[in-house]
Chain A
Amino acid sequence: MTDNETKAEAGAGLIQYSTENVVPFGPVHPALKEPEYFKLYLRGEKIVDVIPRIGYVHRGLEKAAEQRRWSQNTYLFERTCGICSFIHSLCYVQAVEGLTPYEVPRRALYIRLIVAELERIHSHLLWVGLLGHWAGFDTLFMWVWRDREIVLDLVEAIAGNRVHKSLVTITGVKKDIPEGMKSRIVERIKYLADRARFYKHIVDTESTLLARTRKVGNLKAETAQRLCAVGPLIRSTGIPRDVRADDPYAAYGEVPLDVVTRSEGDVHSLLQLRLDEIVASVKAIDYALEHMPGGPIRLKIPPAIPAGEYATHCEAPRGEIFYFARSSGGVSPDRVKVRTPTMANLPTAIELLKGLTMADVPVVLTAIDPCFGCMDRMSFVNLDSQKQWTWSGEELRQYGIRKYFPERKI
């Protein structure tokens, strides 16, 4: 990728995908050879353009899936993302089930819902903690991540592992939730709902957070729509797009769910939205546990999957996750396509970054909920001074804190 690029416009003037003639670098510049998630172009302190490069997290999963059996791929796709691993395996399995004539037993659908919502709670708590860290409020990070351990304990009790649950299988789940466990789950999640309400209060009153999140990163509904954003990001602009409500899967057709929206579109509203979603998840899990039907949790099916194509989607904590599967009738897939929610939100992320000051970059980027590694390295080019440099995530985080709270010692 060279930096001698020419200007082009697209998107009916709403979004400019520019390839501006930036800085006449030499043919090979050592800093540019390295992969970074974002390259940010600045004028003064303001970001004017952003170029994404996400290849460094690319592993070649879709091709690998073709060399593995349908049942083995559950373990593979789980590991697309450690934070939303369950929903990946669930969506994959749903895509495969769509190719078969089998109906997944109802009890399995309820268990899938319960674990999916537990994962949502863990993911949202993780995010709230991280946002606190990036905004310079580490106390919040420590508190929230301690609460998050409760969810991980529950997940471990149900599935046997904290992160990669390996609970879903084609046409069912592998482990049941025994009666005796139900009261323990209900008690713990009620505590988490209380904690979420407590954090909501903090988010509304704590000055560090308010300064860094209110009216920061203002996303308009129209922009989010045109750029096909998903999840909390688009719901923070007032659009109630949620796969669980629009196109119910697992037991979502039977379990009532509150779809949370806000209208401000700023980072502060994202905080409130996710905390509200934790409360909504607790309600859904409670209902599901109470109304869980009896019966088997899986079927035994032959290893070959009938030929055909199927597409399906689920609502991961970060938004819509999409899987497409194609079978030629064998024991291995012909094609599996994965689209993560983070990828769907990337164009919106780029648009949000434009016009921001550098100090707001860490908070807004975290708000979009990217992967860890993505925050590791930011590349900056100052168009006025022609200077360019790269920063680690930590350096950028400290810059933001210094700018907002100059009296603070870091």
Chain B
Amino acid sequence: MNACSCNGCDIEIVAALTPRYDAERFGAVLVPSPRHADVLVVTGVASPQMKDRLIRIYEQIPEPKYVLAIGACACGGGVFKGCYNAGQGIDNVLPVDMFVPGCPPRPEAILYGIIKLLGKVKGNRKPS
């Protein structure tokens, strides 16, 4: 979910689904609705307008659920720290299970983040 990002992370996430990186071989598939999801992948700074929507989408995901924050903006505001309509990290809005820093992180880094998270998911425990 794009929570007010420049789309840099979004295009690298989408690229992770294309043949060269192929996230699907790790079992990761984009689903159309939060109700079918296990993991919420968030990019961006979460502007005030997006904050509510982000929470609402998160609430629609059935348990057990995990949140993956992709990119410097989602991790801590990135280059927009201090901007008047930008939050300071998705962890101020939702409980985040995995941060993937980078501006944007390469598709390989995103895949690595997903795999690490999936590893923890299989163990059925929330990562500390």
Which A residues fall within an 8 A CB radius of B?
33-35, 55-61, 63-64, 67, 75-76, 79-83, 85, 126, 142, 145-146, 148-149, 152, 162-164, 371-373, 376-377, 392, 394-395, 398
Contacts and interface: CB of A to CB of B under 8 A. Distances in A.
Interface in B1-22: 1-12, 14-15, 18-20
B19 A146 contact: yes
B80 A64 contact: yes
B18 A373 contact: no
A398 B82 contact: no
Nearest to B30: A394
A82 B7 contact: yes
B79 A79 contact: yes
A126 B49 contact: no
Interface stretch (B62-70, B83-91, B117-125): B83-91
Q: Which label, helix, strand, loop or mixed, suits the secondary structure of the A interface?
A: helix
B104 interface: yes
A126 B12 CA distance: 11
A259 to B, nearest CB: 27
B32 A394 contact: yes
Q: Which of B44, B49, B86 has the most CB atoms of chain A within a 10 A radius of its CB?
A: B49
Given A35-B50, A67-B82, A394-B32, 20 more contacts: A35-B49, A55-B49, A57-B47, A58-B85, A60-B80, A60-B84, A60-B86, A61-B80, A64-B80, A64-B83, A76-B80, A79-B79, A81-B7, A82-B5, A82-B9, A149-B18, A164-B103, A372-B10, A392-B33, A398-B32
Interface in B46-64: 47, 49-50, 52-53, 56
Given A34-B52, A56-B4, A57-B47, A76 B79 contact: yes
B13 to A, nearest CB: 10
Contacts, number: 115
B45 interface: yes
Top 9 nearest A-B pairs (CB, nearest first) are A82-B8, A394-B32, A373-B2, A60-B84, A56-B49, A60-B83, A35-B49, A145-B18, A60-B85
Contacts of A58: 4, 47, 49, 85
A79 B15 CA distance: 18
Contacts of B18: 142, 145-146, 149
What size tier do the contact residues of chain B reach? 35 or more
Nearest to B85: A60
Interface of B: 1-12, 14-15, 18-20, 32-33, 44-45, 47, 49-50, 52-53, 56, 78-80, 82-86, 103-104, 106
14 contacts: A34-B52, A34-B56, A61-B83, A63-B84, A79-B103, A80-B6, A81-B6, A82-B7, A82-B11, A82-B104, A145-B14, A145-B19, A162-B12, A373-B3
Nearest to B18: A145
Contacts of A126: 11
A67 B81 CA distance: 11
A372 B7 contact: yes
A148 B47 CA distance: 30
Contacts of A80: 6
Given A57-B4, A376-B2, A395 B82 contact: no
B113 to A, nearest CB: 17
B4 A373 contact: yes
B7 A33 contact: no
Nearest to B15: A145
B61 to A, nearest CB: 13
A82 B15 CA distance: 13
A79 B33 CA distance: 28
Contacts of A76: 79-80
Contacts of B9: 82
B47 A395 contact: no
Nearest to B56: A34
B2 to A, nearest CB: 4
A79 B6 contact: yes
B83 A164 contact: no
B6 A82 contact: yes
A215 B71 CA distance: 40
B17 to A, nearest CB: 9
A83 B52 CA distance: 26
A65 to B, nearest CB: 10
B109 to A, nearest CB: 11
A395 B35 CA distance: 13
B47 A59 contact: yes
Contacts of B11: 82-83, 126, 163, 372
Contacts of A377: 53
Contacts of B53: 34-35, 56, 377
Contact of B8 (A57, A64, A79, A149): A79
